[in-house]
Structure 1
Amino acid sequence: MFKENTTVDNPKLKKCLSPIGTWALAFGCAVGWGSFVMPGTTFLPLAGPIGTMLGMILGAAVMLLIGINYHYMMNLYPDDGGTYAFSKHEFGYDQGFLGAWFLLLVYMAIVWANATAIPIICRNLFPGVLEVGPKFIVAGFEVYLVESVVASLVIGIAGFICVCGGRISSLVQTVFALVLIGGIVLVAVLITVKGNVSLLNVKPSFVPEKSKYFQVFQIVALAPWAYVGFESISHSTEEFNFSTKRTIGIMVGALIWGISVSLYWDSLWHQQLSQAL
């Protein structure tokens, strides 16, 4: 049973987010650089294909528990402040301040990766296309000027769309989310049909000479990093044009598609795609 809502609606915010638009926001924020790169380069060496899959599924279950708490929070305080608003109302301004800063640190920990996603994916799919112009060494990595310019343009365009807000950003996010899912399904079919990829012939299933349970636990510990972002819809609660009670289904849907992305990319997908084509 939810407490009576004590939050006053903000008249400046238009209720323009539909359920599909909210799902697209949650899914789009959860699926990023890590979903496409980390399964093949980080998770597989730690736990192998089957260990990674089990760990990601368990990790999604853990995130679902967090999602249930967010669902309760959004129904109790349908405020765009999200975690900050809840902590402030329940525990006071000091706790709200700390909660907001911890959440900010979480987003800062992943924004650098998603900001460089386009150049990294282009390096794997289209080698040499963006690797032109002056070159810099940053933290031991080679960074080309053209890559930086392209990444900056993409960030600028995304920022402009978000600033526009309302139905425009919701429509763009929905289209991009559906295109992403379509691309995932297409690539999955190509790899499965032409690349002869099957879980039945994946060997070794786990990393040899290591505890299988420990391998799965390692992935569970890392999995939240791959899913963080689906809770971002709590910062758009006042823009929902539907009941906040439906948010649990939206977050579950975002997590299911998020784990589907990570599970199928539980491989060096760019190499398999090249071989399939």
Structure 2
Amino acid sequence: MSDRIDKSLTRKKLDKTLKPHWVWAIALGSSIGWASFVMPATWMGEAGPLGVILGLTLGALLMIVISISYGVLIRNYPVSGGEFAYAFLGLSRLHAYISGWFLTLGYICIVALNATAFSLMLKFIFPNFIEQVKVYEIAGWEVYLTEILLATILIGIFTVLNIRGTTISGRMQFIFVAILIVGVLTITIGMTSSAETSFSNLTPLFTPEISALAAILTIVAIAPFAYVGFDNVPQAAEEFKFSSKKALTLIVLAILFAAAIYSLMILATGVAAPWQEISQANHAWGTGFVVQEVLGTGGLIVLATALTMGIFTGLNGFLISSSRVLFAMSRGKVLPKAFSNLHSRYNTPYFALIFAAVIAIIAPWFGREVLGWVVDMSSVGVSIAFFYTTYTAYKLLKWSEQDEGYNPELHIVSPGKKVVTLLGMIASVSFLVLLLYPESPAALGMESIVALLVWIAIGAIFYMIRRKELAKYTREELAYLILGKDQFKLKKEEE
């Protein structure tokens, strides 16, 4: 260890238990979640069937461009924390904090959103059971005690399983994803081959109200939300029981599978009836309604099973990720020590898991409409995290050994990848523009903007509280704690 690092510092480590197919399942299951089964009718109403498919496909390609940067960084820095660690590596502790702050909220909200999606599905199938003991109405959404209790129980179960280790959660994730894929294929084949459906129902291919380009861009803008989950891979990188060189392949495969599943569910929904009728009917669950109409109760059971698996994989994957970000931020002295406490038997960040679960359990009390505003806002945070990652990878890569400041112990010569990371930076900024520019077809609503400003304010206050503690440690010491490096070669940050 460097003489510039306090030798009394101890760096807590997580066990290496995750197998490659488990990590692929974490990325894929987290990327698709409930949205691929619940949102097709809504998305078609905004862009038309082909607009959605092209938008999500283009979004997937942009995610793959961004994932190249993740592959470079995971390979060289396989540590928990992902974008939090990368922002520190490429910039400073302040930027690391910003990245981690946004990611934590986004991940925890998606845990809550998946849990409430389970109640939504049951509300469609068993409305009399779910709509019990109305608590109040908030932002036009009726909150029932039954659905809150269901979400709480579901989150509690997955929290306990994750505390018991990633061997259990990783194996479960793969089984859930396998069942999900079989369910999607079964529904798609059943819907497209039925005598009651027709491909002519997919016309017009784009929504007539806006141009084809605007329709596609509307969907491209939600790509950070639609595919968020592939970035769960770097959060778990420290726990890989295999070479980190495989990470990029696993991420790309997960994104491609996710794009295919999204497209198949759009197709399966759109062939049932003229898509304008489906999107305008305002069904509680458009896809569930048309599948039941065409394939009957058996088809609905298959769809509900696939949706349940999507919910479980999203809930499980983002519990893992949110806890690892909290753990890494605590290990890096940004958060209090408790968040990096490890279970005496299972060596898992149990306090971080419990904290994430508690926050996720609180969220359903605000109603799904309010929760939706926060999740929309979190797309900005995810895009910021994408930018930090692509920027750091761009900084790490060099055109040639003759570049100014080239250090063979730190930098990698790869002109091709450097171009791709530059494109990733542009894509990340483009997502931010689409979300924040008022005239954009995918601009955030005022409620989401307010939620974003509130979260920024809270984060600024918390950082000021923690700044004095964080300032006690040198950059080299923080590099050791965050990245596990005895020597840190980048220039000392200026703050």
Contact 2:134 2:142 in 1 (8 A): no
Find the counterpart in structure 2 of residue 36 from structure 1: 37
Cα shift at 1:102: 2.7
Contact 2:112 2:151 in 1 (8 A): no
Cα shift at 1:71: 0.9
Name which of 259, 270, 293 aligns with 1:275.
293
Matched ranges for 1:54-203 at <5 A: 54-108=54-108, 110-194=110-194, 196-197=196-197, 199=199, 201-203=201-203
Deviation per CA, 1:112-150: give whole Å up to 9, x if none: 422311011222344333222344313211122111111
Distance 2:195 2:59 in 1: 28
Structure 2 alignment gaps of length 5 or more: 1-10, 270-285, 297-495
Query: What letter matches 2:22 in structure 1?
Result: G
Find the counterpart in structure 1 of residue 462 from structure 2: none
Contact 1:60 1:224 in 2 (8 A): no
TM-score, length basis structure 1: 0.88
Deviation per CA, 1:83-131: give whole Å up to 9, x if none: 1112223322122112212322432553442231101122234433322
TM-score, length basis structure 2: 0.51
Distance 2:263 2:194 in 1: 19
Contact 1:130 1:146 in 2 (8 A): yes
Distance 2:77 2:144 in 1: 46
Greater Cα offset, 167-176 or 124-133? 124-133
Aligned residues: 267
Deviation per CA, 1:217-262: give whole Å up to 9, x if none: 1111122211111111111111111111111111112112212222
Query: What letter matches 2:35 in structure 1?
Result: G
Find the counterpart in structure 2 of residue 22 from structure 1: 23
The CA RMSD measured in Å over matched residues stands at 2.0
> Secondary structure of 2:137's match?
strand
Distance 2:124 2:259 in 1: 22
Query: What letter matches 1:53 in structure 2?
Result: I
Distance 2:12 2:153 in 1: 33
How many percent identity over aligned positions? Answer: 35
Query: What letter matches 2:27 in structure 1?
Result: A
Distance 2:91 2:214 in 1: 37
Contact 2:40 2:287 in 1 (8 A): no
Distance 2:195 2:154 in 1: 32
Cα shift at 1:206: 1.1
Relative CO higher for 1 or 2, CA cutoff 8 Å, sep ≥ 6? 1
C-alpha distance 245-200 of structure 1, shift in aligned 2 (>3 A): farther
Greater Cα offset, 265-274 or 106-115? 106-115
C-alpha distance 194-125 of structure 1, shift in aligned 2 (>3 A): farther
